[in-house]
Amino acid sequence: MEQRMEEVQTQIDELRRKIEYHSNRYYNMDDPEITDYEYDMLMQQLKKIEKEHPEFVTPDSPTQKVGGTAKRTAGVLVRHNVPMLSLQDVFSKEEVYAFVEEMQQQLEHPEFVVEYKIDGLSMALRYEDGALKLAVTRGDGIIQGEDVTANAKVIHDVKKKMKDPLPYIEIRGEVYMKNADFEKVNETQEMLGKKTFANPRNCAAGTLRQLDSSITKQRNLSMFIFNVQEVRGREFKTHVEGYEYLKKQGVPVINDYRVCHTADEVWDAICKIGENRGNLAYDIDGAVVKINSIADREILGATSKVPRWAIAYKYPPEEKETKLLDIELSVGRTGRITPTAIFEPVRLCGTSVSRATLHNQDFINDLDIGIGDTIVVYKSGEIIPKIKEVRREKRPEHWQRFQIPDTCPVCGAKTVREKDTADIRCVSPDCPAQLERHIINFVGRDAMDIKGFGTVYIEELVRRGFLQDIADIYSLKKHREELIEQGIIGKEKNTDKLLDAIENSKNNEPFRLLTGFGIQNVGKAAAKSIMRQFGSIEALQKAGKEELLAVNDIGEVSAECILKYFASEKNQDIIARLQQAGVNMHMSEAEETGDTLAGMTIVVTGTLPTLGRKEAQELIEKNGGKAAGSVSKKTSYVLAGENAGSKLTKAQDLGIPVLSETEFLQMIQPETA
């Protein structure tokens, strides 16, 4: 029994860790890694376990909190007059009917309003005597949010003055971005060489938090109001009555709402919204069902997280049919051939998509897919297009399942299928496609991080014979005049800028060089551990299998890949030429700080007196420890500063030792601390 309870606690801790991580990326970083649906499923799983084991529910559990955190960097913090709560999510017809029936049991003849759930960022507007005085984001939803008044005033849909003023009114709505405006922003980002936004919601959230309101104005945000939070000088008896007042003021409210009286009517309204979602100029991720009567809402009240008088029905991930036009084959840096489906463009989650990976021949066989097929496409993580299935009943005549050819699509050499894998590879050492991908990996952010060395330049330099391996990168300066004359990189200024970036990369830490070698199963994290252990590329070249296996994160497969790489005469020659060019292959004394924290997992939280969080995490890693982002039973220590928050509380609850900055520095530098 005790073991079972420990397993439950471990499962809860892991779910909370995942939810907190993804919640932070969604609310505070505007850069989610998973879909809303996947996040909702994690939350539902946690709620189910906590319901079965209420003794494990804690105040800092994600099920007990609302939204994200308010950011000081984005604006002045403002206290909420009325909490900006989230809504209880439901995912089935049965749950919708259960909500309606519960309301009918508690209230006399309740009316329901069903309306769109816009996929954006929540904001409240406060008006005094008809004039806009303050705009505030949801923040933590309970206590405070961010003052974004300057940005709100440049949003066209935000009224600066009411036509029929009241002494005071606070209204809440959703700031969002229309799909057409979103595409324009991403086009501009691409032109400027900046990172594009994953979807309209992320773009709207990031834009509203901009410190420069001129950028907010350029990006053309929109807003719908969905609730009257508080009012003085007038009484609204129903939700719809509040809408009618706002419409007369010229305030955009959620349109196409429907008043319902029965569960069947509510479900029909939800279905109608779902059928129409693909025709809207903006994204919605569900339908909201609310009690219409304000008096009834007051009777029902709210929990610490959600109002009891409303639910949000979440639609399953959006899917669309389209036609497969072609299958394109590409060759990666290891020779792996990847098939990509090219189909008639469809709009999913706010963007137009026309490509999706087919992974390998086994995946193609399982889908039973061929050119001309009608396919069903969806977005994984609301970001990555994927093919769900083939509509075989719509298959064309003379159809054939697609087969990856037994020759390389780039160089024409014979391909092989690796034993016990689904991968088909080109094994020709002279294949230009492999070289291009290898160099792209080498100059990338996780490896040598050579700024401005784009894919187009690499392809052209390979095509014209300037680059035949990664060592040739450091010989490009010998061809400066040729490069300028041929305009491969651009004029003199651009060429010199890239050559300077290449020269500066010689001073990188050697783990970046090791990552850039592109050894299978050796990524950035593993490269860091390896270099801490061996100190230099030269020492690593001489290492045996047993020595490699002694490194954290290196197993049998990785060790074999490393040995195979360094045994190659071609790779030995490349390393020798890199060394001759002056590329750093030795850890500096500052980097060789030892293994004082070996085997320890340390979480950094709060504001430290002198160290930045990133600096502290680097010190942990340089001393052999692991810097983790969340507290669990496996955490060795928590390094805490001011405003440490929930991580500190959790550490204290679990009995995990807490370090001050002074104590931490004394651990790693006892003679100087």
Name the binding residues for Zn(2+).
Answer: 408, 411, 426, 431
- 3-state secondary structure string, 147-207? ECHHHHCCCCCCCCECCCCCCEEEEEEEEECCHHHHHHHHHHHHHCCCCCCCCHHHHHHHH
User: Which residue type sits at 67?
Assistant: G
Cα–Cα separations (whole angstroms), residue 443 to 275, 277, 517:
47, 42, 10
Binding residues for NAD(+): 36-40, 86-87, 115, 138, 174, 290, 314
Binding residues: 36-40, 86-87, 115, 138, 174, 290, 314, 408, 411, 426, 431
- The upper half-sphere exposure of residue 112, i.e. CA atoms within 13 Å in the direction of its Cβ, equals 28
User: Which residue type sits at 444?
Assistant: G
Tokens matching residue 335: 């020779």
DSSP of 119-136: SSEEEEEEEETTEEEEEE
CA gap 656, 630 in Å, rounded: 12
Active site residue 117: yes
Lookup result for tokens 């806009």: 132
Cα–Cα separations (whole angstroms), residue 162 to 130, 133, 158, 240, 282:
5, 12, 10, 18, 26
In the set 47, 48, 71, 117, the catalytic residue is: 117
Question: Tell me, what DSSP letter sits at residue 27?
Answer: I
Q: Give the H or E element holding residue 402.
A: none
- 3-state secondary structure string, 529-570? HHHHHHCEHHHHHCCCHHHHHCCCCCCHHHHHHHHHHHHCHH
CA gap 127, 135 in Å, rounded: 9
What is the CA 526 to chain-centroid distance, rounded?
A: 23
**Adjacent-strand bridge partners of 146:** 77
CB atoms within 10 A of CB 268: 14
Lookup result for tokens 């779902």: 274
CA gap 29, 619 in Å, rounded: 24
Q: Give the H or E element holding residue 228.
A: strand 222-232
CA gap 269, 294 in Å, rounded: 21
* Cβ proximity of 599 and 548 under 8 Å: no
CA gap 6, 56 in Å, rounded: 11
User: Which residue type sits at 526?
Assistant: A
Tokens matching residue 35: 């879909």
Q: Which active-site residues does the annotation give?
A: 117
